[in-house]
């Protein structure tokens, strides 16, 4: 019960083709197996049927069917292994996990926040500088106004000093006039006393003359009246001069006091303004130095962050290029997957076709057994060929070149005689 050469050579050819090419392996292996197997088995089993060894023929056919099923099972296992290899290849060639750029985003956000805070601080410093300049201008205007007021007060003080000098001269002149009036009063008193002594000396002699005449005027009384009148006038003038002098002195003292207070107040204000001006100049210099340092730090920060942003942009460009390459690779792999999926689909269709052929072969064998049981002899090759052509024309090309010819006797008994002329290429 050795298999014919066609079936023996079909299995190794199918295995070699399966290892080299998927489509060629399935077509060559199954096509050669079915073609050679059916032709060889029916060709070799014709004599057995003719000889009557039905049990041996059935066993041979069952063995052949089992071998074909084993081949189909092995091909299915190879297909599963190939699918496993394809999955592993896709798993290995799958793009790696996307890189986490959240840290870069956080860094960029932090840098942007720092730039915004630095800009806000810079603007705040600029506002403070402008406010300081405005305050300095206000203090400068106040200083100029106070300087004008001081100059006015100093001019008033100089005028009051001149007035004080004039009043001092008037006072001295009045004092001299008072002294002269006192001297004149003393001289008048002295002259009056001398005149009284002379008159007393004239009236104090021994001559007594009695004259009956009208009484004369009292010269002493007249002189006393004149003296009293002059004394009253002098006293009145003195009081008036003293009062005027005291009033003028009080006015001058008040003016001097108020002027001295104004001078002290102005000097204090001037000192405070000078101190504030010095403090403002110091603060202005500090603000200017702070502004320069902030501008330098801002320029340095902008340059540093500009370099960092350029580096990050370069990294982003590299990552985008890598993503584009990965997309291209994925598209290529998708095309390969579609191609392999098409090959797999075609192979599954061919496997289904071969299973249909096996099923039809089993039906043909059952039909042969049925006919045999009724005592009818049938050309087995014609049945096998008919089953093969019904299953599909692809597997008929791999049959062995065994030629059969049949002739029917005309005796009318219904028996069919088989003539077997077998030759190998």
* pLDDT value of position 158: 87
Q: Residue 88 domain-assigned?
A: yes
What is the pTM assigned to this prediction? 0.28
Q: Residue 104 domain-assigned?
A: no
C-alpha 309/C-alpha 325 separation (Å) is 24
Q: How many domains does the chain have?
A: 1
Q: Which residues pair with 421 in a beta bridge?
A: 403
User: Torsion angle of alpha carbons 331, 333, 338, 344, nearest 10°?
Assistant: 180
Q: Are strands 417-421 and 403-407 parallel, antiparallel or unpaired?
A: antiparallel
C-alpha 30/C-alpha 225 separation (Å) is 182
* pLDDT value of position 292: 85
Q: Residue 118 domain-assigned?
A: no
Produce one character per residue of 30-43: b if its CB has 16 or more CB atoms within 10 Å, e if not.
Answer: bbbbbbbbbbbbbb
pLDDT along the chain (425 residues), means of 10: 39 38 40 40 40 74 85 89 88 67 80 90 88 87 88 86 86 87 87 84 56 56 80 84 82 80 82 86 85 85 86 88 88 87 86 85 74 54 43 38 36 38 38
* pLDDT value of position 29: 41
Q: Residue 112 domain-assigned?
A: no
CB within 8 Å of 351: residues ≥ 6 apart: 26, 30, 72, 75, 76, 79
C-alpha 103/C-alpha 205 separation (Å) is 147
C-alpha 65/C-alpha 38 separation (Å) is 9
| Other CB atoms within 10 Å distance of the CB of residue 273 | 17
Q: Which two tokens stand for residue 98?
A: 């996307």
pLDDT in tens, 289-348: 888 888 888 888 888 888 888 888 888 888 889 888 988 988 888 888 888 888 888 888
**Interaxial angle between packed helices 22-51 and 219-373, expressed in degrees from 0 to 180 and rounded to the nearest 10:** 20
Q: Residue 170 domain-assigned?
A: no
User: Torsion angle of alpha carbons 35, 36, 38, 41, nearest 10°?
Assistant: 170
Residue tagged 């203090």 (tokens) = 139
Q: Which two tokens stand for residue 366?
A: 């059952």
* pLDDT value of position 373: 66
Q: Which residues pair with 420 in a beta bridge?
A: 404
Q: Residue 124 domain-assigned?
A: no
Q: Residue 387 domain-assigned?
A: yes
Q: Residue 91 domain-assigned?
A: yes
SS (H, E, C) the chain: CCCCHHHHHHHHHHHHHHHHCHHHHHHHHHHHHHHHHHHHHHHHHHHHHHHCCHHHHHHHHHHHHHHHHHHHHHHHHHHHHHHHHHHHHHHHHCCCCCCCCHHHHHHHHHHHHHHHHHHHHHHHHHHHHHHHHHHHHHHHHHHHHHHHHHHHHHHHHHHHHHHHHHHHHHHHHHHHHHHHHHHHHHHHHHHHHHHHHHHHHHHCCCCCCCCCCCCCCCHHHHHHHHHHHHHHHHHHHHHHHHHHHHHHHHHHHHHHHHHHHHHHHHHHHHHHHHHHHHHHHHHHHHHHHHHHHHHHHHHHHHHHHHHHHHHHHHHHHHHHHHHHHHHHHHHHHHHHHHHHHHHHHHHHHHHHHHHHHHHHHHHHHHHHHHHHHCCCCCCHHHHHHHHHHHHCCCHHHHCCCCEEEEECCCCCCCCCEEEEECCCC
Print the domain residue range for 52.
Answer: 5-95+337-421
């Amino acid at each position: 019960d050795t298999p014919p050469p066609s079936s023996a050579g079909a299995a190794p050819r199918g295995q070699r083709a399966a290892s080299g090419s998927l489509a060629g392996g399935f077509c060559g292996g199954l096509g050669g197996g079915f073609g050679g197997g059916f032709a060889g088995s029916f060709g070799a089993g014709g004599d057995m049927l003719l000889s009557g060894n039905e049990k041996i023929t059935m066993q041979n056919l069952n063995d052949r069917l089992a071998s074909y099923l084993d081949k189909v099972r092995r091909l299915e296992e190879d297909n599963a292994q190939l699918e496993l290899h394809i999955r592993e290849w896709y798993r290995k060639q799958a793009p790696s996990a996307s890189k986490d750029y959240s840290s870069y985003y956080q860094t960029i956000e932090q840098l942007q926040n720092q730039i915004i805070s630095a800009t806000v601080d810079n603007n705040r410093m600029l506002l403070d500088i402008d406010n300081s300049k405005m305050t300095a201008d206000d203090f400068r205007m106040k200083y100029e106004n106070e300087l004008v007021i001081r100059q006015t007060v100093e001019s008033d003080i100089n005028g009051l000093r001149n007035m004080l000098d004039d009043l001092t001269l008037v006072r001295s002149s009045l004092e001299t006039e008072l002294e002269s009036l006192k001297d004149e009063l003393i001289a008048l008193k002295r002259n009056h006393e001398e005149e009284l002594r002379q008159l007393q000396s004239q009236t104090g002699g021994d001559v007594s003359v009695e004259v009956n005449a009208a009484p004369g005027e009292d010269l002493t009384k007249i002189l006393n009246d004149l003296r009293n009148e002059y004394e009253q006038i002098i006293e009145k003038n003195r009081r008036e001069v003293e009062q005027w002098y005291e009033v003028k002195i009080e006015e001058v003292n008040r003016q001097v006091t108020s002027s001295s207070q104004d001078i002290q107040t102005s000097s204090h204000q001037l000192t405070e303004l000078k101190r504030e001006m010095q403090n403002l100049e110091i603060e202005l210099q500090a603000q200017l130095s702070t502004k320069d340092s902030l501008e330098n730090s801002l320029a340095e920060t902008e340059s540093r962050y500009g370099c960092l942003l350029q580096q990050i942009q370069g990294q982003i460009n590299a990552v985008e290029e890598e993503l584009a390459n990965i997309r291209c690779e994925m598209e290529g792999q998708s095309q390969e997957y579609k191609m392999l999926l098409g090959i797999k689909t075609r192979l599954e269709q061919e496997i289904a076709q071969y299973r249909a052929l096996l099923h039809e072969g089993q039906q043909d064998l059952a039909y042969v057994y049925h006919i045999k049981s009724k005592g009818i002899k049938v050309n087995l090759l014609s049945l096998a060929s008919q089953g093969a052509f019904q299953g599909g024309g692809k597997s008929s090309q791999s049959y062995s070149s065994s030629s059969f010819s049949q002739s029917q006797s005309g005796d009318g008994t219904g028996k069919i005689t088989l003539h077997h002329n077998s030759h190998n290429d």
